[in-house]
Amino acid sequence: MELVIFLLLVSVAQVSSLTPCPKCGSMEVPYPLSTDDSCGDPRYKVYCKNGGLEFLSAGGTYYEVLSIDPSADKLIISPPMIQNNTCYSSDLSVGGLSLDENLPFNISTHNTVILLNCSNNILLSPLNCSSNSFCRTYEDNAVEARGCRNTLCCHYLKDSAMTSHRIRIRVGGCTAYTSVVNIEPSNPVGSWNYGIELQWVRPS
Ligand SMILES: *[C@@H]1O[C@H](CO)[C@@H](O)[C@H](O)[C@H]1NC(C)=O
Ligand SMILES: *[C@@H]1O[C@H](CO)[C@@H](O)[C@H](O)[C@H]1NC(C)=O
Ligand SMILES: *[C@@H]1O[C@H](CO)[C@@H](O)[C@H](O)[C@H]1NC(C)=O
Ligand SMILES: *[C@@H]1O[C@H](CO)[C@@H](O)[C@H](O)[C@H]1NC(C)=O
């Protein structure tokens, strides 16, 4: 009897844990992403709010999920807004994007991060802040970066030599950022793929 109950519980647990979640608005929520304890894998939590899918950072900021590629274990979130008439990203108060290191997500190596309104002391770090950095093209052409024009800016490729759990900004460093997935420098700024690509560890 006990064995039967045990087996039943095990099979129920397996079935429910492998159930993909229902669509959020028009977006599919593929396994292992989980909008609810009854579906997906709860370690891969995302939030369905007002018909839009969102990712929660360790800093407590929600970022819109723009696309998901379950076969590559990847999703792309929207970079934060830059507030009008300033050069402040909306997540500046929490220091930019930070991911919980205990969760199975990290920032992939396909992101070119553009930092805006940097102070001079940032030049010491391994960033490209030259006059032909991609950040200049962005600052000069993107409407949302209007407030950042004529400030010191830099870019870097988020490669494996860096922490894959943070994009850091701060007052006295750089105060705004955006990110481009698989940047194509020769294409016009408006056609770049703006987003922050995250990767997840495939559930075992
Ligand atoms: C910022 O300005 C743009 C264009 O002028 C406008 O569409 C948008 O609503 C403004 N955003 C905020 C948060 O005020
Ligand atoms: C900075 O980036 C630009 C654009 O990719 C490149 O042409 C230039 O060589 C880079 N400069 C340095 C110092 O890496
Ligand atoms: C740029 O950052 C500094 C602090 O590092 C801040 O005082 C200044 O207001 C910012 N500039 C803009 C245009 O937001
Ligand atoms: C991010 O996670 C993926 C999947 O687990 C892993 O293959 C990759 O090495 C990690 N990237 C970094 C920079 O740590």
| Domain ranges, ordered by start, for the chain | 1-56, 74-200
What does the mean pLDDT of the chain come to?
90
33 exposure class (CB count in 10 Å sphere: 0-12, 13-18, 19+): buried
Q: Say yes or no to pLDDT of 3 above 70.
A: no
d(C-alpha 147, C-alpha 98), whole Å: 24
Contact indicator for 103, 109 with CB cutoff of 8 Å? no
Q: Which atom of ligand 3 is nearest to the CA of 86?
A: 14
Q: What would the pLDDT profile of 31-46 be if each residue is shown by its tens digit?
A: 999 999 999 999 999 9
Which residue's structure tokens are 């950095």? 133
What is the model's pLDDT at position 10? 46
Instruction: For ligand 4, atom 7, name the residue with the nearest CA.
Output: 201
- Ligand 4 site residues, Cβ closer than 6 angstroms: 106, 109, 160, 164, 199, 201
Q: Considering every ligand atom shown, identify the ligand nearest to the alpha carbon of residue 139 and give its number.
A: 3
* Mean pLDDT value across residues 178-195: 94
pLDDT in tens, 99-129: 999 999 999 999 999 999 999 887 766 799 9
* Between 155 and 162, the higher pLDDT residue: 155
- 85 CA to centre of ligand 1 in angstroms: 9
Residue 162 has what pLDDT? 79
- Confidence band, pLDDT 50/70/90 cuts, at residue 12: very low
pLDDT score of 40? 96
> 17: pLDDT confidence band, cut at 50, 70 and 90?
low
Indicate the pTM of the whole model: 0.89
119 lines ligand 3 (CB under 6 A): yes
